[in-house]
Amino acid sequence: MRFALLICLSFANYHNPERMGFGALRVINDDFVTGGQGFGKHSHRDMEIISIPLSGKLGHGDNIGNNGIIETGEIQVMSAGTGITHSEMNGDDTEAVKFLQIWVIPNKGGVAPRYQQVRMDEDAKHNAFNQVLSPNPNDAGVWIHQNAWFHIGSFDKGVTETYDLKDANNGVYVLVLEGQVTINGSTLDTRDGLGIWDTKSFTMDADEDARVLLMEVPMQ
């Protein structure tokens, strides 16, 4: 098993040549947008873009006919493919919205742009990793053009949970959304990240009540 503590990946004005991504995982952007504000129209190509609201509401609009609100407890994905133009605005005039936007490099280029949004918290099990993204349109959660799986779990202090990789050639980027956990002797606090590869599984101990996002992606 190989692992590395990664606090942040390069993005926008932050640039670290040693942290330009983790396998197919290119960007993890931790956004905070005040009421009534947001990001105007901008374009993307050949990228799988996943948005996960952590609190508040996120407004979305794009040039392929999608307009609406993504609420906390939902997950959204856009396959930019041949090109998509969209905007992201706070869906509330007063309450701030906090959300993750994650970019994954696809396994094929030039696909037709697509959009998908699903609720992910209604059937979520406590003290377990719940799948919210996969490569399979018929599987749980949203799907993307990549051999990748995302899981989210909320854990009570003292719980131990093992994650088995779906593909032994993949790696897993662990992001602690809240709380504190320990993996392989490495203690991770809120917003710490840990990259794990060359293993079939790993075990996590919840040192405090914690919420954790796992992003399993190809390493090459």
pLDDT value of position 14? 44
Average pLDDT, the chain: 88
Handedness of CA 210, 191, 96, 72 (dihedral sign): negative
Quote the DSSP letter at residue 158.
T
- Cβ atoms within 10 Å of 26's Cβ, excluding its own: 19
- pTM beyond 0.85: the answer is yes
- How far apart, in whole angstroms, are the C-alpha atoms of residue 94 and residue 5? 36
* 11 contacts 27 by C-beta, under 8 angstroms: yes
Residue 121, both tokens: 């918290």
What is the per-residue pLDDT for 6?
Answer: 52
pLDDT of the residue at 12: 44
Domains of the chain (ranges plus CATH)? 2-8+121-218 (2.60.120.10), 25-119 (2.60.120.10)
The CA distance from 21 to 27, in Å, is 7
Each of the 220 residues of the chain gets a pLDDT tens digit; together they read 665 555 445 444 444 555 568 999 999 988 888 877 777 677 888 999 999 999 988 888 778 877 888 899 999 998 999 988 877 878 777 888 899 999 999 999 999 999 999 999 888 999 999 999 999 999 999 999 999 999 999 999 999 999 999 999 999 999 999 999 999 899 999 999 999 999 999 999 999 999 999 999 999 8
